Amino acid sequence: MQKIEGRSLVSEFTIDDLKKAEGGRISLCACVHKLRRMSGFTFVLLRTGRYVIQSVYVPGLCEKTLQGVCEGAYVEITGDVKEEKRAAYGYEITLRDIEILSAPAAEYPLHVSDRVLGCTLDTNLAYRSVALRHPHERAVFRIQEGVVSGFREFMLAENFTEIHSPKICAAAAEGGANIFKLKYFGQDAVLAQSPQFYKQTCVAFFDRVFEIAPVYRAEKHNSTRHLNEYIGLDFEMGFIKDMTDVMQMETAMLRHVMEYLKKNYSHEIEMLGADIPEIGEIPAVTFFEALDILGKERNQFDLDPMDEVKLCEYAKAEYGCELIFVTKFPGQKRPFYAMDTPEDPKLAESFDLLFRGLEITTGGQRIHDYDMQLKKLERYGIEPEELESYLSIHKYGMPPHGGLGIGLERLVMKLLGLENIRQASLFPRDMHHLIP
Amino acid sequence: MQKIEGRSLVSEFTIDDLKKAEGGRISLCACVHKLRRMSGFTFVLLRTGRYVIQSVYVPGLCEKTLQGVCEGAYVEITGDVKEEKRAAYGYEITLRDIEILSAPAAEYPLHVSDRVLGCTLDTNLAYRSVALRHPHERAVFRIQEGVVSGFREFMLAENFTEIHSPKICAAAAEGGANIFKLKYFGQDAVLAQSPQFYKQTCVAFFDRVFEIAPVYRAEKHNSTRHLNEYIGLDFEMGFIKDMTDVMQMETAMLRHVMEYLKKNYSHEIEMLGADIPEIGEIPAVTFFEALDILGKERNQFDLDPMDEVKLCEYAKAEYGCELIFVTKFPGQKRPFYAMDTPEDPKLAESFDLLFRGLEITTGGQRIHDYDMQLKKLERYGIEPEELESYLSIHKYGMPPHGGLGIGLERLVMKLLGLENIRQASLFPRDMHHLIP
């Protein structure tokens, strides 16, 4: 791979480079994160793309003075690296030269260089482009990157093909008020609530597919666990014997993601004090068993947020696991494409995965047989004509298949113990935030 | 990584597995691609997730008969592998058992098992879920996957951070008729035409970022080179000395992508007869030099499609390269955030990359200085208040930076020599296609 010449030094820079340069000279580009003037010298904390490095300016040792060097300025520096146990990472740079590449027009309106940002979430979101300059804030999105990279690496290794399906779709049969609508060259269109139909379509010829893409829900929730635009990690796989194949695939995938994070993102995990779970086997209970555990009557059709918290407490206490599958939900709260449970058609071969008190996945086995799907549509009162294009996949043949969708921000939120899902989105979209 | 038990055999299957099983027995899941009845035996072509394998049914040798086995059925087979030079990949399976997992309700309306699909593009798109079952059609999207994977692998190795930015945005200052509009909880919103503002924002704290995500253009084109929803491969990098850093990064990235394709997708490259270019140095000419080459007056501000074809012919003839950069476009056709050329402020530090006669990239250096951006907005007649959130990134400091966006479908179209960009999109969106 060709390395690019020029000023792009900073992104080549790692803590290992610093170690290797000990006793020698190094050049790098960075943002001036903090200036701390002492008597006779000044600490200049340098924020690179991943680290905050301690450098020290001593008059007379440096080619240039600190004139014009302010917090928020971007600089290129040259300096001598020496061991310094009191500095972060154990090294310090004595500045020999500092060149200002660009200077800000105003001081940060937030305390970007404090250990903790220490403002309300509203203020954080109002000054999002500044808040994200805080090392803790940006580290959340390095972890997010790690989850996505680990997911993709696992999927590709398991021979899933990555697909890209459209997000502008014809008005959906599932309908409902929770859909963003728009006009598409005069036609009624909606923003996709999931890549469901498309990933099923692709199973017919790729066997296994996955997609990482935005998902839209026009829900009027104003909760700590809902976003109106979020990233879905979706997969769908053919030739399953039943939905446990999908659950096993998810378990193995999550195990890989956690190992991937520990291997590649230990810097951010440590900074954020994140507790990355060890994933062995994940316990599974049926929906009715879950109601029994909760001490509830078997007359409800879904779990509420408090149920999810309690079931995770149960899994932790009984199995030492922070995750739990809930399976075989009553069919009426599950979509028309869910496979009925053979022993009891009032139930669906559908599951949720709960993690630290929050549902992060919905999945299951889908109907692959054309006639079975037509009959279930009748039960749901949906006209087959509305779904003609979708039904063509069953008509011309589908293998037995199933899959799931994971909410990326929910997974990251729970991994990092964040209180609000907005903290796990670079530029969150909720009922009140359309900017930035 | 835990391997999943169960029926999910097919996706573990490779041609190497077939070779290794020679003289022995193999089990796999597949779709019955074609049945060819001969005297005394039947060829059963099996379509797995990536290959079409020849098997042969001989009455008496197989546990079950072929009753109910039809084209389009999904089956699990067991058979003996033997060398057979006349079969694809050089191996043939003698069927010992065949179990039908699911059967279609109707025959394919297209010739999925013919060597070439041989229908019009309109018919192909009308029956998209069937057309994609043709090995050539699906292979296009394996190549697409390869381009995306190669791009991402390169970006991560160069320490770019992967980001996810929202696609529902506040009505943009750039405005224009080419934007899809929608209502977002009572507010006016639009679908993002690019992740431009967001990737610039993230350069302030990550130095280098990239995104792979849908991009929306409501252009009323009905051409062979425009889609209304497509996948953008975007990157943005800080600490550049000028836009040539960005051009060099793109050159190295494309070189890596081509090597990645040759290494991992030779099966599909061969099947489609694709000509994957060797990328050395890519020649660059300024916009005015380009007009000279084209024998045109220096009084136009942009290139037309025929100019792009001719410039690529020129690059091929002069430099033996199928790509050419065109740089320093007149500013008036470039966006307000483009850096002016220092020697001539009527020009912009902005470039296009042309490949086999088609523009596949627009990029350049962006303005990082707050006052410079305010002055340029005045020239463009844009009120700073409309862009307050965006301008905060300049106000609180940005390093010198630049980046680009690549149209994934255009790149794949030209790589594979497809005639129409719709062939390079799984489920294309144009003025007339909102389904499937």
Q: Could you tell me if B151 and B88 lie in one domain?
A: no
Q: Could you tell me if B337 and B244 lie in one domain?
A: yes
Q: Could you tell me if B145 and B38 lie in one domain?
A: no
Q: Could you tell me if A166 and A94 lie in one domain?
A: no
Pairwise CB contact (< 8 Å): A239 & B206: no
What residues form DSSP beta bridges with A169? A190
Q: What is the ipTM of this complex?
A: 0.96
Pairwise CB contact (< 8 Å): A436 & B201: yes
CA distance B123 to B118: 10
Residues 38-77 of A with CB under 8 A from B: 47-50, 72-74, 76
Per-residue pLDDT band for A6 (boundaries 50, 70, 90) equals: very low
Last residue of a domain, one of A78, A102, A126: A102
pLDDT at A15: 82
pLDDT in tens, chain B (436 residues): 233 343 344 455 678 888 888 999 999 999 999 999 999 999 999 999 999 999 999 999 999 999 999 999 999 999 999 999 999 899 999 999 999 999 999 999 999 999 999 999 999 999 999 999 999 999 999 999 999 999 999 999 999 999 999 999 997 655 667 999 999 999 999 999 999 999 999 999 999 999 999 999 999 988 999 999 999 999 999 999 999 999 999 999 999 999 999 999 999 999 999 999 999 999 999 999 999 999 999 988 999 999 999 999 999 999 999 999 999 999 988 999 999 999 999 999 999 999 999 999 999 999 999 999 999 999 999 999 999 999 999 999 999 999 999 999 999 999 999 999 999 999 999 999 999 9
Last residue of a domain, one of B102, B125, B158: B102
Neighbours of A98 (CB within 10 A): 23
According to DSSP H, which parts of B161-215 are helical? 196-206
Q: Are A385 and B87 in contact (CB under 8 A)?
A: no
Q: Could you tell me if B272 and B367 lie in one domain?
A: yes
Does residue B192 form part of some domain?
Answer: yes
Per-residue pLDDT band for A398 (boundaries 50, 70, 90) equals: very high
Per-residue pLDDT band for A174 (boundaries 50, 70, 90) equals: low
CA distance A397 to A391: 10
Q: Could you tell me if B350 and B293 lie in one domain?
A: yes
Name the region of B98 (left: φ>0; alpha: ψ -120 to 50; beta: rest): beta
Using an 8 Å CB-CB cutoff, list chain B residues near A184: 180, 228, 434
Does residue A159 form part of some domain?
Answer: yes
Q: Could you tell me if A48 and A181 lie in one domain?
A: no
Structure tokens that stand for A277 in this block:
């779970």
CA distance A30 to A23: 21
DSSP letters for A342-395:
TTEEEEESEEEEEETTEEEEEEEEE---HHHHHHHHHHHT--GGGGHHHHHHHH
Question: Which structural domain, as residue segments, surrounds residue B69?
Answer: 10-102
Strands B401-407 and B229-238: antiparallel
Q: Could you tell me if B274 and B208 lie in one domain?
A: yes
Does residue A112 form part of some domain?
Answer: no
Using an 8 Å CB-CB cutoff, list chain B residues near A34: none
Q: Are A75 and A99 in contact (CB under 8 A)?
A: yes
Query: For A433, which DSSP code?
Result: B
Q: Are B384 and B421 in contact (CB under 8 A)?
A: no
A301 near B CB under 8 A: no
- Phi and psi, residue A420, nearest 5°: -135, 135
Does residue A371 form part of some domain?
Answer: yes
pLDDT at B418: 98
Helices A196-206 and B135-157 pack at an angle, to 10 degrees, of 110
CA distance A113 to A130: 11
Strand order in the sheet with A358-366: A161-162, A208-216, A229-238, A401-407, A358-366, A350-355, A323-327, A284-286
pLDDT at A175: 60
CA distance A266 to A257: 13
Does residue A436 form part of some domain?
Answer: no
Give the residue among B202, B184, B180 at the shortest CA–CA distance from B193: B180
pLDDT at B14: 76
Give the residue among A275, A359, A349 at the shortest CA–CA distance from A311: A359
Give the residue among A342, A343, A346 at the shortest CA–CA distance from A369: A342
CA distance B325 to B286: 8
Does residue A383 form part of some domain?
Answer: yes
B337 near A CB under 8 A: no
Q: Helix, strand or coil for residue B213?
A: strand
CA distance B283 to B261: 23
A358 near B CB under 8 A: no
Does residue A114 form part of some domain?
Answer: no
User: In a mutagenesis test of the A interface, which of B2, B8, B29 is the best target, namely the one with the most A β-carbons within 10 Å?
Assistant: B8
User: In a mutagenesis test of the B interface, which of A190, A205, A426 is the best target, namely the one with the most B β-carbons within 10 Å?
Assistant: A205
B372 near A CB under 8 A: no
B157 near A CB under 8 A: yes
Q: Could you tell me if A89 and A141 lie in one domain?
A: no
Q: Are B401 and B365 in contact (CB under 8 A)?
A: yes
Residue A17 CA from chain centroid, whole number: 29
Domain count for chain A: 2
Does residue A355 form part of some domain?
Answer: yes
User: In a mutagenesis test of the B interface, which of A52, A71, A102 is the best target, namely the one with the most B β-carbons within 10 Å?
Assistant: A102
Q: Could you tell me if A140 and A253 lie in one domain?
A: yes
A399 near B CB under 8 A: yes
CA distance A380 to A177: 18
Give the residue among A316, A330, A350 at the shortest CA–CA distance from A244: A350
Last residue of a domain, one of B102, B120, B153: B102
What's the whole-model pTM score?
0.96
For tokens 């483009």, name the residue.
B338
Q: Could you tell me if A79 and A158 lie in one domain?
A: no
Nearest residue of B to residue A204, measured between CA atoms? B133
Q: Are A221 and A229 in contact (CB under 8 A)?
A: no
User: In a mutagenesis test of the A interface, which of B74, B134, B149, B410 is the best target, namely the one with the most A β-carbons within 10 Å?
Assistant: B74
Helices A408-416 and A135-157 pack at an angle, to 10 degrees, of 120
Q: Could you tell me if B78 and B163 lie in one domain?
A: no
Per-residue pLDDT band for A176 (boundaries 50, 70, 90) equals: low
A244 near B CB under 8 A: yes
Residues 6+ apart with CB under 8 A from A195: A163, A165, A211, A213, A215, A232, A234
pLDDT at A177: 72
For residue A146, pLDDT over 50 is answered with yes
For residue A38, pLDDT over 60 is answered with yes
Domain at A18, CATH number? 2.40.50.140
| Mean pLDDT over the full length of chain A | 94
Structure tokens that stand for B17 in this block:
């597995």
Domain at A238, CATH number? 3.30.930.10
Neighbours of B19 (CB within 10 A): 13
Using an 8 Å CB-CB cutoff, list chain B residues near A393: 129
Structure tokens that stand for A1 in this block:
């791979």
Structure tokens that stand for B357 in this block:
């006669």
Percent above pLDDT 90 for chain A: 90
Residues 6+ apart with CB under 8 A from B289: none
